[in-house]
Structures are given as C-alpha cells and as structure tokens.
C-alpha cells in the first residue's frame, strides 16, 4: 500500500467540497460522530439534507463566509492506497494557498462545472499545475446531472481543455464526467453515464501509477544535522543525517561534498541507527564518510559522476506570497531545503499573467499572488538542479529577515 | 539487486517525520518534546530516537502534568525515560494553580485540560524553549486540518489561523522573533490507524491501559468514565465493572474508556478498523461542548 498526495482545484461552487466530502463519505472514511456534528451544523438548512461540503470547511471564519480560505488537509484510505488531499481555495486572491497545496501534490483534480465549461479559473489552475510540474491531471467534469448527462457537453469540454493543456505542455490528462452531489462516477461507475468507458474517480486514484515519479537516477542528499554521540563506545562516530532527496546511496560510493567540492567515499549508510545495504529516495538516512571533512547543515553529498549545478546567480520564477510587496534590491534569505543563504533580488524581468501565461512588463511593485521571472544573487553558491528537470531540488522559499515570513515560492530556472 | 525501490505508506510517513525532527534539531536552539504519555507521544519518541540514532534524543521530554494521570501511564513514562537515558522535565498544573491563584475546575469531571495552557507557557518561559514538538494529527479535528507542520505562536502562545506561513514542498521556515515559539507537529499527516499500524510494525511497547482490562466505571452520557481518586460516583450513578480499553490516554477526568475484549495489538487494530466512531468523539469528554472548542483552545495557546 502506498501514498498518493493530490490537490483539488476549482472555482467557487464548482463542487469541490462536495466532491471531497463524497470521496470521504463513500469510501467510509467519515465516522459517526463527525456525521453527527455535520448534521448539527446543517440543521439550519431548509431541505434537511446533509451538506457534505461542510466536512472540509474547517475554520469558523470560513464557515461563516462559506468559503475555503486556507489549505486544509484531509486523509482517507482504501485497501489499495492512503490518500492525502490538499483542499485549496480557488479564488485568484488565494493563488498563494493553491501553490502551497500544489507544492506537495503529485496529482491535481481540476473541477469544471459542466454548465460553464472551461473558464478563466480553469486556465489559472492549469497554469499553476504546469508551473509546478504536477505529474498527473484529472479533469473532473462535475454537475453532469444538470446537463442531462450529455455526452456532447462532455466532449466539447474535453476538446476545449485539450487546447489549454497543449499550450501548457500538460501531460497525463484524464477526463471523468461526474456528479459529486449524487455520487456518479465517484466511487462506482455511473449507470446514468453509460457512454463513458473510463474508470470512476476513486478507482483511477487507486490505480494511477506514481512509483515512477520518484527520481532514482540523480542522487542528492542534503545534510540536516551532524550526529556526534561522543560517548565512549561511539567516540569517533560522525554521521550526516538528512533526507535522500533522490537517487540511491550505498557503502563504497564515490561522493563529492558540495559546495566545497571535496571528494570522499561512503563508509556506511544507516537508517534508525542500523547499517543497511543501501538507502534511496525519499528515505531519511545517515551517511558516514571516509574522510574527516568539515561538513555542516545544508551541504550536499552527491555521487561524483552525477553533479548538480553550483551557482550564486539564479534565474528564478517567484510566486509572491506576502502582503508586503517585493522590493527590488531588498535582501532576503533563500531557504533551499535545509540550506539558508542570504539573497538579493537583482532584477525583475517580467510578470506572468496567471490567467493567460502572457509575459507582461512589471509596472510598480510585485504584489501578493503575482508570479514573476527574476534574477537572484546569493551571498554564497547554491547547489541545485533546475526545477523543470528535477523539482525536488530546484525549489526554495524566500524569507523576509525582518518579519520572518515566507514571502515567496522560488522555482529555479537556469 | 532485484527489488523495487519503493516505500510503503508507513515508511513514507516515517521518513517525513524523521525529516521534520531533524529540521527541528537543525533550526532551533532549545526545542522540547511535549510528552503526554499517550500512544501519539510514545510514537513521537520512537521516531525521535530513530531520527538521531545512534546519538541520544537531543532535547528533553516535557510532561505538563495535570495530576490526573493514569498510574500505568506514569510508570511507563519513567521506564521509557530511563531506557532512553533522556531528560525529563515535569511541571505540574497543580503548582500553577497555587502560584497563580487560579480557580480549580469544579464539577463531577473536573478537567484541568484547559489549565495546562498556563503551565505550558510558564514552562516555555522558564526554560526558554523556542520550539515545542507535539503529537497532534490533522485528522483529529477540523481546525487542525489547516494547521501547518511548523506552527508559529506569538508571545501568548496563540495561533492565528489567518496569519499562517505558507508551507511549501518539504521546506520548513522556523525563524521567529524573541519571545515567539514554534509548535512542530511531526505526525501531522498520520491518521489514528496509521499510528496503530506503525506501532505494530515497529513493535512499540504501550502502557497496559490501551488493552482490555477490568475497571470500575460509571456511565456518563453514553460514555464510560473510570472511577478514580479524581472521579467519584454520586448517588444516581450505577457503578459497573466492565472490560475496557483506552484509545487515547489523557486526563483521567476527561478520557473515556471503550468496552473491549481486545487484549493484543492485533485485536485492538481490528476493533478500530471496525468502529465507526472517531477517536476524539469517543474518548474526549470535553470536546463535544462546542464544535469550535478546539479552535478556541488553540488560539489560546493549547498544544
Ligand atoms: N446538481 C449538482 N449540484 C452540485 C454538484 N456538486 C456540487 N453541487 C452543488 O453546488 C454547490 C457548491 O458546491 P460546493 O461543494 O460547496 O462547491 P465549492 O465551492 O467548489 O466547494 C452546492 O450547492 C452543491 O450542492 C453536482 O454534481 N450536481
């Protein structure tokens, strides 16, 4: 049994909350007392039905306004898989939250209201999916009950969306006609949509192949902490603890420590304090090295014959996430996994319109929810791979040193 | 080697939690692990041990003691600390009540849960902890579903759901101003069943109260509450002797037992899979009060 993380995106009222509620409900992941609480908060409704959408609307302010304003995480499992859903808001003013939810997702469900077809929000969500290189896309054409389960309506939406996807270079797209409200094509195949030969949503989610998504060919390991027990028995023990971001490591591997550029070899690989034959992504592990080298948190250990880039000037896409605008020339901290370096935004080239993907000149300051192409200069070199090649090692955040806020998502381009 | 490089979901969750523990050690000066004695914090300790092996866990375990403990849980705690050679800090809610002239909660189930917040904040200040690691899970409750893994609290320990930092990829920003504090939840993405399955996989010992045993209980609004020094039956109560176990271990005054015959881990897991009542609803007496109870408490500096 493995783990699939996905995000759901849609415009307000497309039925996103209903869909998630339906997935949880029909896969029997909602429990009696949660249902009771749900019925309690639904009792003001006139028709007396249970509002599945309320299962996912957590915070009180959100309940009052009836909208999802933050990413909420939901869990369910079937005998085949465990699922983590990032339930992210759809409005343009919450692009930040959507990017946050999408950053960990290997699959996105884009909801479309069958009556509306492809709309501006659909394009924006798809653009974000493509910027973040989400590997699998499901287009959920919802509310089919309101268009008489018409195959033509569905086919036209498929044609429209294919144009969008083609332009964005989105691949692995699966289309499913459904009614989240009534449960058509969610868990079970809908008898009301006999012309559809594909799988219902849950079955697709259970079976979509995700094991290929982990990069096992370019080994990257970043040190988080150095373990030095300094006890009598382990007097000289020095282990480098970190996550295998990608690839496989084993005893005897010739490795290089970056950015220092020092070569050595691995003398032992361990997990949980025990030596193992090899470690691989995304395991947390400890490596011991042959030579006594000055290595600290944030340094990268790679195989000598497969090296990432090392640079102190980075071309990046920035998704701005702070209420305060980006000020060109301001200093920030760049956090690249466990590595923290001082950085300065040297130049902002253009803004990417998240509704059209057009490049636009930046007039004035870069504000919340805007995506820009920029150049960052760092005080010391950064060890990375371009995001498009390898997203796990091409992503970072910017932190405002004065407020400590996370102000931008960084996708390294060059 | 002829095998696939694939982690199952428990191994993936474990790897993520260990990564989070190491980020704590790498980013904070004085972290602490909040240890309640329950299965979630026992799992946390197990993960912490694996994260830093063969070294010791590089921070103390802190128990905010309501004084209403299950004796079995206290024994277990002390043995675990001895075995790990870990540092244990215990601070008692009772002392806080005395020092701060707080009012003892009254009633038949006098829960000191709410007052834990005071003791916790005092303890944070006393030791200068900049990070407290907790065993909360996002599946426990709706407000928690939105909380970050690194959750920044202000000087009053308060959580502001509207001002959360975006948390992207597996990059955790734990930078804070002096006086602020970060709560870190390494098992955010685990469900109750994940915890149980992991306990089974790793053979993690648990206090005996998690398994079916005989106990004198009274029934209160459909829930079974153990009779103890802290909860006494009144005239209307019928004292029953039942075979029960606990799903969570908290205050004796506000943790309910479930009827059970499950004497082994396997049997406990089977019962949990079969049950249709979620953990919080079944065993927390104080939570049903208002739907927004947890949200209110979090804003006030609760774990
Ligand atoms: N007829 C019909 N209504 C739906 C369907 N899915 C959702 N709805 C309704 O559309 C409205 C908005 O749904 P909700 O899940 O709250 O949308 P969200 O804003 O995307 O989370 C609610 O009144 C739902 O009952 C569907 O498949 N068919």
What does the alpha-carbon distance between residue A303 and residue A254 come to, in Å, rounded to a whole number? 6
User: Parallel, antiparallel, or unpaired for β A300-303 and A284-289?
Assistant: unpaired
Residues A264 and A313 in one domain: no
What does the alpha-carbon distance between residue A214 and residue A222 come to, in Å, rounded to a whole number? 16
Place of tokens 């039925």: A15
Residues A199 and A224 in one domain: no
Per-residue pLDDT tens over the stretch A197-254: 999 999 999 999 987 788 999 999 999 999 999 888 888 899 999 999 999 999 999 9
The finding on whether A278 has its CB within 6 A of some atom of ligand 1 is no
Q: What is the number of other CB atoms lying within 10 angstroms of the CB of residue A96?
A: 24
Residues A11 and A127 in one domain: yes
Residues A70 and A107 in one domain: yes
| CA-closest candidate to residue A177, choices A135, A213, A145 | A145
User: What's the mean per-residue pLDDT of chain B?
Assistant: 84
Which comes out higher in pLDDT, residue A235 or B89? B89
Smallest CA–CA distance, residue B254 to chain A, in Å, is 17
Which comes out higher in pLDDT, residue B89 or B299? B89
> Do residues B7 and A248 touch, judged by C-beta distance below 8 A?
no
| CA-closest candidate to residue A127, choices A318, A352, A362 | A352
Task: Note the maximum CA span of chain A.
Answer: 76
Contacts with A237 from chain B: Cβ below 8 Å: 54
Which of A303, A327, A352 delimits the end of a domain?
A: A303
Please tell me the predicted confidence (pLDDT) of residue B192: 86
| CA-closest candidate to residue A50, choices A72, A17, A82, A83 | A17
One DSSP character per residue, A221-256 reads EEEEEEE----STTTT--EEEEEEEESEEETT-EEE
What does the alpha-carbon distance between residue B303 and residue B33 come to, in Å, rounded to a whole number? 11
Please tell me the predicted confidence (pLDDT) of residue B3: 62
| CA-closest candidate to residue B34, choices B112, B99, B97, B88 | B88
Read off the pLDDT band of B102 (50, 70, 90). confident
Sheet holding B213-220, edge to edge: B223-226, B213-220, B240-245, B258-259
Measured between CB atoms, does B274 come within 8 Å of chain A? Answer: no
Residues A207 and A271 in one domain: no
Listed in order, the ranges of chain B carrying CATH 3.40.50.620 are 9-193+292-299
Tokens representing residue B85 in the block: 């050679």
Residues A151 and A109 in one domain: yes
Exposed/middle/buried for B194, CB within 10 Å: 0-12, 13-18, 19+? buried
What distance lies between CA A34 and its chain's CA centroid? 28
Which ipTM value was assigned to this complex?
A: 0.92
Contacts with B159 from chain A: Cβ below 8 Å: none
Please tell me the predicted confidence (pLDDT) of residue A305: 94
Name A396's Cβ contacts closer than 8 Å, sequence gap at least 6: A334, A335, A336, A337, A382, A384, A410, A412, B171
Name A124's Cβ contacts closer than 8 Å, sequence gap at least 6: A92, A95, A354, A355
For testing contact with chain A, the best of B21, B50, B142, B184 (most A CBs within 10 A): B142
What does the alpha-carbon distance between residue B158 and residue B156 come to, in Å, rounded to a whole number? 5
In this complex, which of A104, A272, A409 lies closest to B53 when CB atoms are compared? A272
User: Virtual CA dihedral for B289, B293, B296, B298, nearest 10 degrees?
Assistant: 140
> Do residues A178 and A142 touch, judged by C-beta distance below 8 A?
yes
CATH at residue A252: 2.40.30.10
Alpha helix (H) residue ranges in B158-191: none
Read off the pLDDT band of B1 (50, 70, 90). very low
End-to-end C-alpha distance for chain A, whole angstroms: 37
- What are the b/e assignments for A264-274, b being 16+ CB within 10 Å? bebebbbbbee
The finding on whether A185 has its CB within 6 A of some atom of ligand 1 is no
Q: How many CA atoms lie within 13 A of A106 on its CB side?
A: 16
Please tell me the predicted confidence (pLDDT) of residue A61: 52
Residue A77: which domain range?
Answer: 3-213
Q: A259: cis peptide before it, omega within 30°?
A: yes
- What are the b/e assignments for A345-381, b being 16+ CB within 10 Å? beebeebbebeebeeeebeeebebbbbbbbbbbbeee
Q: A282: cis peptide before it, omega within 30°?
A: yes
Residues A299 and A376 in one domain: no
Residues A192 and A94 in one domain: yes
User: Quick one: which H or E segment has residue A1?
Assistant: none
Per-residue pLDDT tens over the stretch B43-75: 999 999 999 999 999 999 999 988 878 888 899
Q: Which residue of B has its CA nearest to A298?
A: B26
What is the average pLDDT across B151-165?
79
> Do residues A238 and A268 touch, judged by C-beta distance below 8 A?
no
In this complex, which of A75, A286, A335 lies closest to B173 when CB atoms are compared? A335
Residue B297 has pLDDT above 50, yes or no: no
Of all protein residues, the one whose alpha carbon is nearest to atom 2 of ligand 1 is A143
| CA-closest candidate to residue A88, choices A151, A30, A157, A12 | A12
Please tell me the predicted confidence (pLDDT) of residue B279: 56
The finding on whether A121 has its CB within 6 A of some atom of ligand 1 is no
Sheet holding A107-113, edge to edge: A72-77, A81-87, A2-9, A107-113, A136-142, A173-177
Please answer yes or no on whether A225 and B189 come within 8 Å at the CB atom: no
| CA-closest candidate to residue A75, choices B278, B251, B180, B243 | B278
Please tell me the predicted confidence (pLDDT) of residue B290: 39
In this complex, which of A272, A284, A405 lies closest to B165 when CB atoms are compared? A405
Please tell me the predicted confidence (pLDDT) of residue B229: 73
Measured between CB atoms, does B145 come within 8 Å of chain A? Answer: yes
In this complex, which of B15, B173, B193 lies closest to A399 when CB atoms are compared? B173
Question: What is the value of pTM for the model shown?
Answer: 0.91
| Number of domains making up chain A | 3
Per-residue pLDDT tens over the stretch B262-274: 999 999 888 887 7
Please tell me the predicted confidence (pLDDT) of residue B300: 47
Residues A241 and A285 in one domain: yes
Please tell me the predicted confidence (pLDDT) of residue A330: 84
Please tell me the predicted confidence (pLDDT) of residue B291: 38
Residues A192 and A245 in one domain: no
Smallest CA–CA distance, residue B123 to chain A, in Å, is 24
With a cut of 70, which residues of chain A have pLDDT below it? 28-69, 90, 92
Strand partners of residue A248: A280
CATH at residue A163: 3.40.50.300
Please answer yes or no on whether B7 and A282 come within 8 Å at the CB atom: yes
Which of A161, A195, A213 delimits the end of a domain?
A: A213
User: Quick one: which H or E segment has residue A412?
Assistant: strand A406-412
What does the alpha-carbon distance between residue A245 and residue B257 come to, in Å, rounded to a whole number? 43
Per-residue pLDDT tens over the stretch B186-243: 999 999 889 999 999 999 999 999 999 898 877 877 777 777 777 677 777 788 888 9
Which of A303, A327, A360 delimits the end of a domain?
A: A303
Residues A69 and A104 in one domain: yes
| CA-closest candidate to residue A144, choices A48, A26, A14, A55 | A14
Residues A127 and A188 in one domain: yes
Please tell me the predicted confidence (pLDDT) of residue B37: 86
Smallest CA–CA distance, residue A281 to chain B, in Å, is 8
Coil, helix or strand for A168? Answer: helix
Place of tokens 């271990």: B249
CATH superfamily to which B9-193+292-299 belongs? HUPs (3.40.50.620)
């Amino acid at each position: 049994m493995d783990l699939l993380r996905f995000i759901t995106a849609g415009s307000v009222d497309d039925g996103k909350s209903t869909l998630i509620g339906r997935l949880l409900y029909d896969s029997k992941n909602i429990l009696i007392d949660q249902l009771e609480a749900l019925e309690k908060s639904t009792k003001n409704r006139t028709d007396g039905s249970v509002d599945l959408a309320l299962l996912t609307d957590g915070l009180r302010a959100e309940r009052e306004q009836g909208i999802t304003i933050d990413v909420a995480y939901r869990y369910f499992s079937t005998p085949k898989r465990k699922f983590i859903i990032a339930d992210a808001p759809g409005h343009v003013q919450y692009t930040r939250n959507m990017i946050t939810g999408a950053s960990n997702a290997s699959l996105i469900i884009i909801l479309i209201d069958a009556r509306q077809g492809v709309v501006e929000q659909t394009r924006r969500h798809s653009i974000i999916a493509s910027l973040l290189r989400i590997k699998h896309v499901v287009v959920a054409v919802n509310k089919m009950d309101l268009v008489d389960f018409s195959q033509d309506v569905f086919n036209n939406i498929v044609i429209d969306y294919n144009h969008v996807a083609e332009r964005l270079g989105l691949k692995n797209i699966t289309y499913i006609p459904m009614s989240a409200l009534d449960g058509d094509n969610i868990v079970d195949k809908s008898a009301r949509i006999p012309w559809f030969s594909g799988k219902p949503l849950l079955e697709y989610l259970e079976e979509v192949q995700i094991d290929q998504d982990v990069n096992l060919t370019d080994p990257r390991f970043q040190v988080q902490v150095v373990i030095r027990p300094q006890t009598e028995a382990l007097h000289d023990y020095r282990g480098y603890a970190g996550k295998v971001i990608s690839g496989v490591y084993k005893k005897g591997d010739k490795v290089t420590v970056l950015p220092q550029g020092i070569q050595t070899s691995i003398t032992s690989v361990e997990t949980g304090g025990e030596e193992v034959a090899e470690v691989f992504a995304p395991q947390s592990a400890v490596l011991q090295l042959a030579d006594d080298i000055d290595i600290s948190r944030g340094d990268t250990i790679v195989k000598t014959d497969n090296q990432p880039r090392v640079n102190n000037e980075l071309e990046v896409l920035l998704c701005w996430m702070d209420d305060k605008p980006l000020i060109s020339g301001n200093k920030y901290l760049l956090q690249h996994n466990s590595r923290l370096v001082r950085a300065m935004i040297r130049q902002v080239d253009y803004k990417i319109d998240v509704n059209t993907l057009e490049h636009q000149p930046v007039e004035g300051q870069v504000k919340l929810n805007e995506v820009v192409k920029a150049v960052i200069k760092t005080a010391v070199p950064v060890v990375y791979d371009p995001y498009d090649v390898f997203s796990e090692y091409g992503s970072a955040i910017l932190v405002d040193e004065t407020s400590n806020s996370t102000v931008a998502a960084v996708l390294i381009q060059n | 080697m002829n095998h696939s490089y694939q982690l199952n979901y428990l191994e993936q969750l474990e790897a993520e939690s260990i990564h989070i523990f190491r980020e704590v050690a790498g980013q904070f000066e004085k972290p602490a692990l909040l240890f309640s004695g329950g299965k979630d914090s026992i799992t946390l300790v197990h993960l912490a041990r694996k994260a830093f092996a063969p070294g010791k866990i590089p921070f103390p375990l802190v128990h905010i003691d309501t004084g209403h403990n299950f004796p079995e849980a206290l024994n277990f705690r002390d043995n675990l600390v001895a075995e790990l050679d870990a540092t244990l800090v215990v601070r008692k809610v009772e002392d806080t009540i005395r020092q701060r002239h707080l009012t003892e909660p009254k009633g038949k189930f006098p829960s000191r849960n709410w007052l834990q917040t005071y003791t916790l904040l005092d303890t944070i200040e006393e030791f200068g902890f900049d990070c407290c690691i907790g065993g909360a899970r996002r599946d426990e409750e709706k407000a928690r579903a939105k909380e970050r893994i690194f959750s920044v609290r202000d000087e009053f320990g308060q959580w502001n759901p509207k001002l959360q930092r975006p948390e992207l990829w597996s990059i955790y920003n734990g930078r804070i101003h002096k006086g602020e504090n970060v709560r870190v939840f390494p098992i955010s993405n685990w469900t109750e069943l994940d915890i149980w399955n992991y306990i089974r996989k790793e053979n993690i010992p648990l206090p005996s109260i998690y398994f079916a045993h005989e106990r004198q209980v009274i029934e209160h609004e459909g829930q079974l509450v153990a009779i103890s020094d802290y909860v006494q039956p009144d005239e209307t109560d019928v004292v029953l002797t039942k075979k029960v176990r606990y799903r969570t271990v908290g205050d004796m005054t506000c943790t309910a037992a479930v009827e059970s015959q499950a004497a082994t881990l396997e049997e406990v897991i089977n019962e949990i899979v079969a049950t249709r009542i979620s953990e919080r609803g079944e065993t927390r007496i104080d939570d049903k009060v208002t739907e927004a109870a947890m949200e209110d408490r979090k804003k006030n500096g609760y774990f």
